[in-house]
Amino acid sequence: MFELHDAQPRAADQLLKPMGGLLSECTPGVREILELALSGEEVSRKQGEALFRCSPRELSAVMRAADTVRKQRSGDEVSFVVVRNINFTNVCYMGCRFCGFAKRKEDAEAQWISMEEVAHRAQVAWDRGATEVCMQGGLHPDLPPTYYRDLVLAVKKQVPNMHVHAFSPFEVWFGAHKRKMPTKEFLLELKDAGLGSMPGTAAEILDIEVRKQLTRNKLTTEAWVDTIRTAHEVGLRSTSTIMYGHVDGPSHWAAHIDLLRSIQKDTGGFTEFVPLGFVHSESPLYVEKAIPGVRAGATMEEHIKMHSIARLMLARWIDNIQVSWVKLGAQRAGDLLHAGVNDLGGTLMDESISRSAGADFGEELTSTEMVRLIRYAGRRPVRRNTLYERLEDFDDHEPVDLGTLKPRSHDPIQFVRSVTGSRVVP
Ligand code: SF4
């Protein structure tokens, strides 16, 4: 459906060279999986799970392998997009247990901003250099049946060239029910109105048992997959995501990535994969201990694994691996550029969903800060649009200083030690 590009095959010894002596630190099983990944073979779900279960001692090798495959598939550039997030309402009654964003209509913090205000914000964003607005909101029970279409029309009328990236599969599912239309017809209506692409959010973990615990399974795995496949079918590309670090584990992570890969093999519609670490501090799931055993988010080791192993499992199929600075903060996001990542996502301008769940990493990272962060990792910054077309490089610009960032080693052993503590033995 969408075209995928293949890279030139390279000799195995060329690909193994950057590993130095790291493979000798691995058990034969992990070593074998990393060698096959480095030689361009596909990492299966079971092998992915084995990598997620690798020991701290093996983590440096997993990370270096991911960095090597990243270099082969995506080069040394790191991209970002200038985008404004517009969360048009926070009213929602779906009751997802992890959600700290949703409010009831009568709550003091309840918000539903007017279409005029949404269009105005899009205009301001355009004037500041944004090429995309990303619009998502709660599933407000009072939304009129044509609300989503009208919202897109309002933005496109105000700023015709703005790329509208909007509506999660959950919102599409809700909107199609409101509009009393089959999903395909509903998506075609949105596309005709000017919708450019969709966020592949609301995926959480695509596993029945985990979804029952997190979201009461209102949007089932089948419904999420069906909505995304239909979007790709009608020509709307989407991102793909995972939310990890709560009641989930290695088997769920590997199966989730494997499922996304199988969709991509059929449709080619995913632009990128974005791991979203669970932000626990204001989340009812954690604060109210709604599920026994719920964790306070992923560890740094798990963040490294998620980005690295996603790169290894998705190689050739989804070659843009994004790190979310909103969830992790700029410093850690910069660190993870060494773990298979080639994209820093959006500047955002104002974001409220993660902040509502307790993330405290601000509302915006400017283009200058993005460039600084990328250079700090020793890579080349590129500004892109939503669909990964290159818009600007910064080769002629003066280098910028590191600001408050603390320089860290690019050596995988030193790196893993510095960000996870001394538990990782070289
Ligand atoms: S995650 Fe989305 S659908 Fe679920 S309660 Fe929050 S706003 Fe509503």
Tokens of 83: 């985008």
Domain co-membership, 144 together with 267: yes
Structure tokens at 13: 């010894």
Distance CA 182, CA 305 (A): 39
The pair of three-digit structure tokens given for residue 136, joined into one six-digit string: 């998502």
Distance between CA atoms of residues 53 and 148, nearest Å: 42
Query: What does the alpha-carbon distance between residue 166 and residue 168 come to, in Å, rounded to a whole number?
Result: 7
Pick the residue whose CA is nearest to atom 2 on ligand 1.
138
Which residue range forms the structural domain that includes residue 160? 75-420
Point out the ligand 1 atom lying closest to the alpha carbon of residue 99.
6
Residues 89 and 223 in one domain: yes
Q: How far is the CA of 98 from the centre of ligand 1 (A)?
A: 9
Assigned domain for 2 exists: no
Q: What whole-number distance in Å separates Cα of residue 165 and Cα of residue 163?
A: 6
Q: Does 4 map to a domain?
A: no
Examine the fold and report which residue of 73, 94, 115 is the final residue of a domain before the chain moves on.
73
Using the predicted structure, report yes or no on whether residue 130 has a pLDDT greater than 90. Answer: yes
Looking at the predicted structure, is the pLDDT value of residue 173 above 60? Answer: yes
Beta bridge partners of 135: 86, 166
Q: Among 21-35, 65-79, 209-223, whose mean pLDDT is lowest?
A: 209-223
For the stretch 281-311, pLDDT in tens is 878 888 887 778 899 899 999 999 999 999 9
Ligand 1 atom having least distance to the Cα of 95: 5
91 located within any domain: yes
pLDDT one-digit tens code per residue, 375-384: 888 899 999 9
**Which atom of ligand 1 lies nearest, measured to the CA of 138?**
7
Residues 145 and 18 in one domain: no
Instruction: Decide if 3 is inside a domain.
Output: no
Does the pLDDT of residue 259 top 90, yes or no?
A: yes
- Give residue 232's pLDDT: 98
CA 386 to chain centre: 13
Ligand 1 geometric centre to CA of 25 (Å): 43
Q: How far apart are CA 392 and CA 344, in angstroms?
A: 15
Tell me the pLDDT tens digit for each residue of 89-122. 999 999 998 998 999 999 999 999 999 999 999 9
CATH code assigned at 381: 3.20.20.70
DSSP 3-state of 59: helix
Per the structure, the count of domains in the chain is 2
d(CA 93, CA 109): 15
Do residue 177 and residue 290 come from a single domain?
yes
For ligand 1, mutation pick of 94, 136, 140 (most atoms within 8 Å of CB): 94
Residues 383 and 274 in one domain: yes
- Tokens 């510095």 belong to residue: 418
pLDDT of residue 4: 67
The CA R_g of the chain, rounded to the nearest whole Å, is 21
> Do 263 and 323 fall into the same domain?
yes
Calpha distance 211→217 (Å, rounded): 5
For residue 139, the one-letter residue type is L
Distance 336 CA to ligand 1 centre (A): 28
Confidence of residue 277 (pLDDT cuts 50, 70, 90): very high
Bridge-based pairing state of the strands 132-136 and 390-393: unpaired
Task: With respect to residue 326, please indicate whether it lies within any of the assigned structural domains.
Answer: yes
Identify whether 7 is part of a domain: no
Q: Residues enclosing ligand 1, CB less than 6 A?
A: 92, 94-96, 99, 101-102, 138-139, 170
Same domain, 80 and 64: no
Q: Name the residue of 93, 99, 168, 212 whose CB sits within 8 Å of the most ligand 1 atoms, as the mutation to test its pocket.
A: 99
Among 264-273, 325-334, 358-367, whose mean pLDDT is lowest?
A: 358-367
In what helix (H) or strand (E) does residue 173 lie, and over which residues does it extend? Answer: helix 169-179
User: Among 21, 54, 73, which residue terminates a domain?
Assistant: 73
**CA-CA distance, 78 to 63, in Å (whole number)?**
17
Same domain as 80, residue 69? no
- Looking at 21, 49, 73, which one is the last position of a domain? 73
Return the SS3 of 87. strand
Query: Is 307 within the bounds of a domain?
Result: yes
- 6 within a domain of the structure (yes/no): no
Angle at 94 between CA 93 and CA 100, to 5 degrees: 80
CB 330 within 8 A of CB 365: yes
Residue spans of beta strands (DSSP E) within 231-353: 237-244, 270-277, 343-346
**In which band, very low, low, confident or very high, does the pLDDT at 423 lie, cut at 50, 70 and 90?**
very low
Residues 236 and 131 in one domain: yes
Rounded distance from Cα 243 to ligand 1 centre (Å): 13
Tell me the average pLDDT of the chain.
90
Asked if 182 and 111 sit in the same domain, the reply is: yes
**Distance of alpha carbon 308 from alpha carbon 338, whole angstroms:** 9
Contact assessment for residue 133 and residue 165, using Cβ atoms and an 8 Å cutoff: yes
Q: How far is the CA of 342 from the centre of ligand 1 (A)?
A: 29
* 197 contacts 165 by C-beta, under 8 angstroms: yes
Closest by CA position to 70, among listed 364, 412, 316: 316
- For residues 202 and 307, state if they share a domain: yes
- Residue 312 and residue 177 in one domain: yes
Strands (E), 167-256: 195-198, 237-244
Rounded-to-5 percentages of helix, strand, coil across the chain: 45, 15, 40
Q: For residue 374, how many other CB atoms are within 10 A of its CB?
A: 22
